[in-house]
Structure 1
Amino acid sequence: MRVLVYGSGQLAQMMYLAAAPLGVIVSAVDVVTETVVNPISKKATGVPLHRAIEESNAITVEFEHVPEHLLLDADKSGKLYPNVASILAGADRVREKALLVKNNIPNCEYLLIDHVDQLDDVVERLGEKVIFKASRDGYDGYGQWRISSASDLVNVRKDFALLDLKKVPVIAEKMMQFDREISLVGARSQDGQIACFSLAENLHHEGQLHVSVAPITQLTEALQKKAKDIFETLATAMDYVGVLAVELFQCGEELYVNEIAPRVHNSGHWTQQGCSTSQFEQHIRAVLNLPLGSTELIGTSAMVNIIGCTAFSRDLIGIPDVHLHWYGKEVRKKRKMGHINVVAKSHASLGKKLKQLIEFLPVEYFPKLESEATRLENEKN
């Protein structure tokens, strides 16, 4: 069996590695050159794209910002999973908000801005603390503006005057006073089978994910069920096939959807060592309509992103149950170079292990790690 992935970054690479033991061959598409490449070496395979589509049993994506003409070409084959509408909902915040509203999914209060004069009503409607998000091509903190008082709108107005807001509108969201950011990664197969992983707790720095911990601390069955109900509603409404990530704000016992990602997701990388089936294998299973794998936990896990740095000691893999995943990229500021998965028996022991890990890392690139390690170390479970 063959799977063709649009996008040739680390997610395609990890799908390739997860698919190999199943006897599934994964190829990737460099969406800039429209060339079929090997997901590991990135070298062209010599297979024309039209033939790769014909020879594939399933076609999928590693990110939602695939050029639309490529998605439509892939869709004609009848083998694209998830479907085009689902991918576009993840790529466009206007479509995403419409999806949430249509399905009565709680989300942040918002306004659609497609003209700079609409900024006049923002503070009155949403309050003084607002985050503005470009409806397309914004991720990892890019394409975002924040205000904490009405006076901050002066600079936002200047920036927006330079944008084509009709072409790419902006979503203005009321900043929520949430307790924490969590996410649920799950999968739905072609025949409607659904399997969700445990909730993960996510720590961000400058708009970028730095650490995920799963399961979340103080996890209750009610909270997991509430998140799963949201996942099932969205996945069923979209007739979704594959792995889907739902990012959530927790406010007390209530959950509000922040974003959806129609693909394998950074906050699910911990599943590689922390679960019976990784999110990458699960995605391959789902798009090929194979039985979904068990999402049973192997332990308590943390995923630590390596961002913009290569200067750390590989000796960190000498710590028991610490695993390095390297992407082979050229270093660049804010670029995800790899990640580290850590597995332990409890949150407290996970905290101790993260303290050990810190000794091998340049702390300036891991600003959330020490405080998170201390928090987990004090957990009683």
Structure 2
Amino acid sequence: MISAENSQVLILGSGTLAEELAASFRRLGFEPVVGSLELGTAHGVPEGVNPTLTVVCEAAPSEQLAEIAAATGSELVPTVEACRITRNREGIRRTAAEEHGLPTMAYEFADSVDELGACADRVGYPCVVKPGTSTGGEGQSVVTGPDELPAAWEKAYDPELDGRVAVERYVDFDYECTILTVRSIDPATGQLSTWFCEPIGTRHEDGRLVEAWQPAPLTEDAMDNARSIAARISGAIGVQGIYAIDLFVDGDEVYFSQVSPRPTLDGMITGATQRINEFDLHARAVLGLPIDVTLTSPGAARFVQAQGFGRDALARALAVEETGAVVVGDTVVLRSTGDSVEEARQRAAEAASTLV
């Protein structure tokens, strides 16, 4: 664990998520510097920065991250290997399903539109076509027959990423769920341990996150399955920090989808619902500090794409009881709490209606 005597921490990322994580390290007595990944080389490291720790706050090519770690001589969190596996959808699916036996949807990966057809035949219709590199839900299509495959390929294919396209079996599940999982040092034992935040239910439209709520109402069996999956995949990746582990919930059955070894957009709900939010949890875990995942209030969030909204619209949103707002790029995150999840969801929906 680094000490505040060697206090400079480089945060690799941009925007609100990187700034929030920087604030978390600052509150712990460190000197965070936010560096951009846009240049694609180690020259993206700000001049004069000599960190002992570099924390990756967004997905990036592993070659670039290795170059930055070498240029700074700092410890990289997550590791280059962890970033490589989790950025690539094929890598994390094969790690989860084939190496660790975790339940996943049936899946295939295609290098061409012709191969996509053969993959879809094996997986079966309807199926979901996705970019081969994790993109936070963008580029996905539900395909009901072969005629829809060319358009789905065009939407998912990106030669600047890895060029492959994923196909997975479509299941009409109850809902999607994120388990924020934290790996840090347990002060009682001095050993690595795992903590689980209360599950976060999520809803997407056209691959875009539009709503989250916490806690999600998993059955006892589903909760056991979800935490088992979360513990096994975070343990397989093996680095300290927070993991946003995305799952599909169908009754008591739970299927692994993907994992991000860093704070994420859906986890921003914890700023309203937990004693310690996801950014502070990540900073604590990276540094090997004590963890507290206590839920203090049921809550919900709406994620609204609203550029150029005025003061009056924001005032109407913030006038909704127990509601706050954070702007993340072109997305306004409206977070509400209540006596129940249902009440919090109603408040967040009411606030969102003022911005659209």
Matches within 5 A, 1:151-230: 151-153=147-149, 155-156=151-152, 159=154, 168-189=163-184, 191-216=191-216, 218-230=217-229
Change (3 A) 1:306 1:358: closer
Matches within 5 A, 1:1-381: 1-33=7-39, 47-48=46-47, 51-52=48-49, 54-56=50-52, 58-64=53-59, 66-76=60-70, 77=73, 79-101=75-97, 102-136=99-133, 138-142=135-139, 144-153=140-149, 155-156=151-152, 159=154, 168-189=163-184, 191-216=191-216, 218-292=217-291, 294-311=292-309, 312-327=313-328, 329=329, 335-336=330-331, 338-354=332-348, 356-358=350-352, 360-362=354-356
Distance in 2 (alpha carbons) for counterparts of 1:35 and 1:122: 36
Distance in 1 (alpha carbons) for counterparts of 2:125 and 2:34: 45
Distance in 2 (alpha carbons) for counterparts of 1:167 and 1:299: 41
The one-letter code matched in structure 2 to 1:203 is: R
Deviation, structure 1 residue 348: 3.5
Deviation, structure 1 residue 304: 1.5
Contiguous gaps of at least 5 residues in structure 1: 37-43, 330-334, 363-381
Does the CA contact (< 8 Å) of 1:114 and 1:166 recur in 2? no
Deviations 1:137-157 (A, max 9, x none): 633322x34321133235457
The one-letter code matched in structure 2 to 1:188 is: R
Q: Report what 2:3 is aligned to.
A: none
Deviations 1:239-260 (A, max 9, x none): 1221111111111101001121
TM-score by length of 1: 0.80
Deviations 1:332-369 (A, max 9, x none): xxx42x3121111212432443354256332xxxxxxx
SS at match of 2:75: coil
The one-letter code matched in structure 1 to 2:169 is: K
Change (3 A) 1:316 1:229: same
Deviation, structure 1 residue 47: 4.6
Does the CA contact (< 8 Å) of 1:7 and 1:63 recur in 2? yes
Deviation, structure 1 residue 268: 0.9
Does the CA contact (< 8 Å) of 2:113 and 2:150 recur in 1? no
Distance in 2 (alpha carbons) for counterparts of 1:177 and 1:88: 30
Distance in 2 (alpha carbons) for counterparts of 1:286 and 1:92: 24
Distance in 2 (alpha carbons) for counterparts of 1:152 and 1:115: 15
Distance in 2 (alpha carbons) for counterparts of 1:87 and 1:136: 12
Deviation, structure 1 residue 119: 3.3
Deviations 1:80-125 (A, max 9, x none): 1111121112211111111112111111101121244323423431
Distance in 2 (alpha carbons) for counterparts of 1:2 and 1:164: 36
Distance in 2 (alpha carbons) for counterparts of 1:153 and 1:360: 38
Percent of matched pairs sharing the same residue:
20
SS at match of 2:335: strand
Change (3 A) 1:164 1:21: closer
Does the CA contact (< 8 Å) of 2:127 and 2:169 recur in 1? yes
Deviations 1:237-289 (A, max 9, x none): 11122111111111110100112112111111111121011000011111112
Distance in 1 (alpha carbons) for counterparts of 2:64 and 2:221: 41
Q: Report what 2:188 is aligned to.
A: none
Contiguous gaps of at least 5 residues in structure 2: 1-6, 186-190
Change (3 A) 1:253 1:175: same
Does the CA contact (< 8 Å) of 1:93 and 1:136 recur in 2? yes
